[in-house]
Amino acid sequence: MTDFASLLVPDRGQKVRPIHLVDKEGFAGWAKKRPAEDRALLEAQRFDGKTGFAFALLPRGGDFEVVSAVKNAAELSPWCLAKLAESLAEGTYKLADGEPGKASLGWLLGQHRFDDYRSKDDEPEQGPRVLLTGEPAKVERTVRLAEATALVRDLVNRPAAELGPAELEQAVSDAATELGARVRVTRGQELEAGYPLIAAVGGAATDARAPRLIELEWGKPGDPRVAVVGKGVCFDSGGLDLKSAAGMRLMKKDMGGAAHALALARMVIAERLPVHLHLLIPAVENAVSGAAYRPGDVIKSRKGTFVEIDNTDAEGRLILADALTAAAEGEPELIIDFATLTGAARVALGPDLPAFFASKDDLAADTLAVSDQVEDPVWRMPLWEPYQEMLKSDIADVANASNSPMAGCITAAMFLKRFVPETISWAHLDTYAWRDAAKPGRPKGGEALGLRAIFAMLQGRYSSH
């Protein structure tokens, strides 16, 4: 992984290239104060301070200064320095005025690449672009955020052939070894007996990609217990309700919820939040074989609820149901789950906004407030009780998919709600975990969406304990 800690360092008077940040309102006034030769150079480069992410270089003897356009020079966004980090020559830089603050995140992530499968023979080695900051106390936390985001991206980007349930288990085990946490893995007959929905969804895969429930625990038993659940479908063919070729193309990303959950767990532990953390990742491949579960099957869940399988491509909610049940058995005060759960959420909100469901209004309010502050947006959707009617089964307690084409992400959330006791605060994020088009600091591919918002919410709730 990229050595982010070497790219953001405290300002100790090192020799630097200054970066001047301007916006369209203030550019003219700023330019008037510059030497005439600077104004001529900016005009020659057609730099007017209005075009987002545009920048110009001003020669200074054998070196240069940078002028960059941002939306608001007084309030920097996380991504306003990302284009510079991607494009500038190697060296050390510093803002001419003020501190980078949350814009440091984009500076770091602008230099991260997932290039495990690219030949490097013909690519020139790009040296690091180092940013100085006068806020050394914020460096470590920003680096952790960048590392967590990069972890999600790298896991989601990895091909399914190289990231199955076993490899996901290894990623959790590696984190536990590094961070001093405990890991427990349930598989085989124990999984079939204790987590029948997880076992059923993963039952068609080969032995090498057999289903399992991966759990990590960390913290003191006396601290508030927080459970984090992540959907770990390492590849989703749709099962016997087979997806189309186009629908299957990106399904390596269907473990994006697990990637978010693991990244969040790593941040919680690194921050030493005073919680008793319980991470649960049901890891499966939804494959096709003679052992595949079938439409019309009825499966008794860990909770005891009988679930009729209406659609084998609605598998994520099944494995989450057993994992949520297990999480609730520990009596946590808060459960959070991440899942690439429904296409309906993308139809409703597009690729950038995770559909966010919360069982308690205070949990929703806390999360929405901090999501604005850290500029990691989520959008609250309703847990609309009348839509439970859409999940009726003629022969079982509940069907796993709606009998209506409407409100798909809501009915999926309502299915999950059945497996979380009303006494426990619960948040569910239906996230895309992917970026269809590149933006500065945010390449096309796997993406962390909602991760920073949830982490900020946990910090606000538990840092004062």
Pick from 55, 71, 57: nearest CA to 23: 71
Rounded to the nearest angstrom, the gap between the alpha carbon of residue 109 and the centroid of all alpha carbons in its chain is 14
Is residue 417 part of the annotated active site? The answer reads: no
Pick from 167, 263, 164, 176: nearest CA to 217: 176
The answer to whether 106 touches 81, Cβ cutoff 8 Å, is: yes
Round to whole Å and give the CA distance between 343 and 326.
26
Round to whole Å and give the CA distance between 458 and 62.
48
Tell me what pLDDT residue 403 has.
86
Task: Choose, from 317, 418, 435, 461, the residue flagged as catalytic.
Answer: 317
The pLDDT tens digits for 305-349 are 999 999 999 999 999 999 999 999 999 999 999 999 999 999 999
Q: Which residues partner with 225 through β-bridges?
A: 276
Residue 173: both structure tokens together? 């085990």
The answer to whether 307 touches 398, Cβ cutoff 8 Å, is: yes
Phi, psi of 303 (to 5 degrees): -70, -20
Helices (H), 217-285: 245-248, 256-270
Record the pTM. 0.97
Task: Describe the strand order of the beta sheet including 398-399 as a list of residue ranges.
Answer: 298-300, 306-308, 398-399
Burial (CB count <10 Å: 0-12, 13-18, 19+), residue 65: middle
The pLDDT tens digits for 351-403 are 999 999 999 999 999 999 999 999 999 999 999 999 999 999 999 999 999 98
Helices (H), 72-116: 82-87, 103-109
Total Cβ atoms within 10 A of residue 419: 23
Task: Choose, from 243, 360, 380, 439, the residue flagged as catalytic.
Answer: 243
Pick from 57, 149, 58, 67: nearest CA to 102: 149
Tell me what pLDDT residue 52 has.
84
The answer to whether 12 touches 57, Cβ cutoff 8 Å, is: no
Q: What is the mean pLDDT of the chain?
A: 96
Residue 87: both structure tokens together? 């494009």
Burial (CB count <10 Å: 0-12, 13-18, 19+), residue 137: exposed
Is residue 346 part of the annotated active site? The answer reads: no
Mean pLDDT, the chain cut into blocks of 10 residues (465 residues total):
95 96 96 95 93 93 96 96 97 97 98 90 77 96 98 98 98 97 98 98 97 98 98 98 97 98 98 98 98 98 98 98 98 98 97 98 98 98 97 98 95 98 98 97 98 98 80
Round to whole Å and give the CA distance between 267 and 279.
12
The pLDDT tens digits for 125-143 are 678 999 999 999 999 999 9
